Amino acid sequence: MRREAVENADDPRIGVGIWLTKWAIQHIDQLAKQDGIETIFILLPTKESVFVDKVKVADDHKYFQKLTTEEEQHRQGLIEYMKKNDFAYIDMAPSLRSMVQQPYFENADGHPNAIGHKAIAMTLQKRVGACKH
């Protein structure tokens, strides 16, 4: 249940968090532009979201479906906001989902492992390199 709480759309704190995220994106971008700096925001999915298509019986995992469904709604809402406001971003969900190697620790730790961090870094490096040309 603890993991589902971070995406629970019924919790007003989550709504405030989403609002604050959008506010922060806008202000970080504005401040950077004032100094002639371009921004790229990286959207990092939860571990559950990355493995959503690999879970055979989601009903065996309490709250899994609710967590992944709500996260997808929040992610799509943030992507729409980024597009509407012309903010540069990288959505790491598709890349991490398609990896052959395990991008996350095989325990309860929800953070990317070294392979996952390298994939994130390489994606950013490609994007930044493409911007310079």
User: For 52-110, how does the pLDDT look when each residue is reduced to its tens digit (9 = 90+)?
Assistant: 777 766 666 667 777 788 889 989 999 999 999 999 999 999 999 999 999 998 888 88
Report the pLDDT value the prediction gives residue 124, as an integer from 0 to 100: 93
5 pLDDT exceeds 60? no
Rounded to an integer, the average pLDDT of 121-132 is 85
Domain boundaries defined on the chain: 2-131
CB atoms within 10 A of CB 45: 21
First to last CA, the chain: 46
Q: Give pLDDT tens digits for 22-63.
A: 999 999 999 999 999 999 999 999 888 888 777 766 666 667
Evaluate if residue 4 carries a pLDDT over 70.
Answer: no
**What's the pLDDT at 43?**
96
**How confident is the model at residue 132, as a pLDDT?**
58
Residue 1 pLDDT exceeds 60: no
Residue given tokens 């870094």 in the structure block: 121
CATH number of the 2-131 domain: 3.40.50
DSSP 79-105: HHHHHHTT--EEE-HHHHHT-SS--B-
Residue 132 has φ and ψ, to the nearest 5°, of -80, -15
10: pLDDT strictly greater than 90: no
Q: What is the structure's pLDDT at 133?
A: 47
CA distance 41 to 88: 6
